[in-house]
Amino acid sequence: MRSFAPLVLSLLGATAAVHAAEPEVADTDANVVTLTTETFDEFVKEHPLVLAEFYAPWCGHCKALAPHYEEAATELKAKDIPVIKVDCTVEEELCRTYEVDGYPTLKVFRGPDAHKPYAGARKSDAIISYMTKQSMPAVSNVNEENLEEFKALDKIVIIGYVASDDSASNKSFTSFAESQRDNFLFAASNDAALAKAEGAKQPSIVLYKEFDEKVAVYDGKLEEEAILEWVKTASTPLVGELGPETYSKYMAAGIPLAYIFAETPEEREQLAADFRPIAENHRGAINIVTLDAKLFGAHAGNLNLEPEKFPAFAIQDTTKNAKYPYDQTKKVDAKDIGKFIKDVLEGKVEPSLKSEPIPETQEGSVTVVVGRNYQEVVVDNEKDVLVEFYAPWCGHCKSLAPKYEELAALYADVPELNEKVTVAKVDATANDVPDSITGFPTIKLYPAGAKDSPIEYSGSRTVEDLVAFIKENGKYQADGLADGSKKPEERAEVTSAPKATESPASDEKDIHDEL
């Protein structure tokens, strides 16, 4: 572990020395430095850590990021962490080199050949926090003199109090810190007196945070999996605010998420206080958040709530995509909803299911699936099932439709193939489905005997390629073109951009794009 003392001076101290300007760079004194193909490699070679944005001037998400990026760059410049940008409409070859396939793309560089995707939120505080973590060792050393300074470096810091001769605990803590360094700041101390002063013993881990009880102590076995589960729980507010910086974390937590929709800050603050004892009672089993209904109220519809009728409450099982809306004719009362939460967690409440009516007859070769028969048609059968998740407004879906119908006919019209393969589609805007769908069309194959492991299709949207995909990945290796009825060259691609998908409609877009 590297000493923390000299590092804290640079991170907390005054402005770092400004690097000499590269002759080719137009404005190296800017907080966000603009680089070109000619200047990029030399710049990242001279700086041990660089945050780079690859953007396009016309990109709306890039424009939304710009003020946050500039604000973060201003503070990171004082910590000697350069923040740069590259215009991909001009520097096309450079962007291809770094596999930029969307805008904005943010990457962390440690030299031209050592880079990784930026994995934080696109807000100034999150960018500053993430890059500060990148600039520090996986585990810093703290002592009585610099402990308080270290605590102030981020909203959450984690310190291991482990005796120097406890090699097993030191190894486990260091290994865990290295695996989580993108998410948290870590330090360690072998001073038993300091541990005691902090209300801990050796070995133990203390998580310092700016919310709730401020300090959480873990004194169980220092095993990585156990530490991770504890940290995930201890680092999550009892009742948090769902927003752009927290959405991904909550969705990836692996436990149900309860939403409290309210329109005013005062109402959200009061409801958060009311629900805090309930959140404490179910800590680690469910996360509870408030949500600004004025900004993100459309998301209520995705949870099978009536939008625009607030306050409102719903629970989502994020792993199964099951939804449990609370009766909107009732008042959002913490005591009553506390029982509802308990019943949901105990499996006493049936999930809500949004579904169109089951078709009385199937027209055409493509099997139409709805929420109520999804399990039966897609999961509970012995066939390989190819499913297109579409939206009625999606232009790419409309372009695909005739080819998809042609594909389905190859299997539906041949009895021995029809027994092995179903080609289906479901309107994912009107029906609840188990999978989370973030773009349209999304095509997945559910192989017989392996329905829990669907395979998403990412190839060109031609009949030949879809047939090959089914043959290669399905259990039965059924070949819809075995009779050679049409030559590949007789078929045209559906679209010039075959992998393109369209974002969900506005109600989905609010939660996925804004959050």
Q: Could you give the residue numbers annotated as active site?
A: 59, 62, 394, 397
Question: How far apart (Å, rounded) are the C-alpha atoms in residues 497 and 31?
Answer: 37
CB 440 within 8 A of CB 502: yes
CB 405 within 8 A of CB 365: yes
Question: How far apart (Å, rounded) are the C-alpha atoms in residues 22 and 13?
Answer: 26
Q: Is 410 left (phi over 0), alpha (psi -120 to 50) or beta?
A: alpha
Q: Is 188 exposed, middle or buried (0-12, 13-18, 19+ CB in 10 A)?
A: buried
Report the candidate in 382, 369, 363, 358 with the shortest Cα–Cα distance to residue 424: 369
* DSSP structure class, residue 440: B
Task: Write out the H or E segment, with its range, that includes residue 240.
Answer: strand 239-241
HSE value, Cβ hemisphere, 13 Å, CA-based, for 413:
12
Question: How far apart (Å, rounded) are the C-alpha atoms in residues 184 and 186?
Answer: 6
Angle of the 167-179 helix axis to the 224-234 helix axis, nearest 10: 50
Question: How far apart (Å, rounded) are the C-alpha atoms in residues 193 and 317?
Answer: 44
Task: Write out the H or E segment, with its range, that includes residue 175.
Answer: helix 167-179
Report the candidate in 324, 243, 249, 317 with the shortest Cα–Cα distance to residue 285: 317
Count CB atoms within 10 A of the CB of residue 480. 25
Question: How far apart (Å, rounded) are the C-alpha atoms in residues 323 and 278?
Answer: 20
- What does the chain come to in residues? 515
Angle of the 395-412 helix axis to the 463-473 helix axis, nearest 10: 60
User: Position 343: which residue type?
Assistant: D
Report the candidate in 346, 416, 422, 410 with the shortest Cα–Cα distance to residue 383: 422
CB 132 within 8 A of CB 79: yes
The runs of H, that is alpha helices, within 352-486 are 374, 395-412, 415-418, 463-473
Rounded (5°) CA angle 316-318-319? 135
Question: How far apart (Å, rounded) are the C-alpha atoms in residues 286 and 220?
Answer: 22
Q: Give one DSSP letter per residue of 369-381, joined into a string.
A: E-GGGHIIIIISS
| Bridge partners (DSSP) listed for residue 422 | 385
